[in-house]
Amino acid sequence: MELILTHRFHFAASHRLFAPELSEAENEAMYGKCAWKNGHGHNYVLEVSIAGVPDPVTGFLLPPDDLKEIVDEWVVREVDHRHLNHDVDFLREIVPTAELLARRFYERLQPRLPSLVRVTLHETPKNVAVYGRLGA
């Protein structure tokens, strides 16, 4: 029987929701204040969930320090205290909505965490995006 382990990470970042294919007026109509020229910030909570059978000796799916180092190296250090539109190469070509950020973080982590089930990104207490195997 498999189990799922979820670890939480925190980072602060700013972004601007702005689709270059839309005019300034269309962006403002679509994204409201989130389209403001200088952007705005969030204190994000990133949950990374892995699944599997715990090691019979250690009891871990993956040693906690290993999981932390992978997520820190491949996501958190790249985005913490950054402007997601301008400062993060792997996010430059997307509109950094919570939905697309969750997907991009999953895609970045999956090759390094084969047991990755899903990524959950809390942008605000009311706005949460989940990407991955949702039935797991």
- Establish whether 123 is a catalytic residue: yes
Q: Taking the CB of residue 4, how many other CB atoms lie within 10 A of it?
A: 14
- Establish whether 47 is a catalytic residue: no
- Establish whether 7 is a catalytic residue: no
d(CA 47, CA 10): 9
The helix/strand/coil state of 105 is helix
Q: Annotated catalytic residue: which of 24, 40, 69, 81?
A: 81
Q: Are strands 40-52 and 116-124 parallel, antiparallel or unpaired?
A: antiparallel
Q: Annotated catalytic residue: which of 34, 42, 47, 83?
A: 34
Q: Annotated catalytic residue: which of 15, 78, 122, 123?
A: 123
Catalytic residues: 34, 81, 123
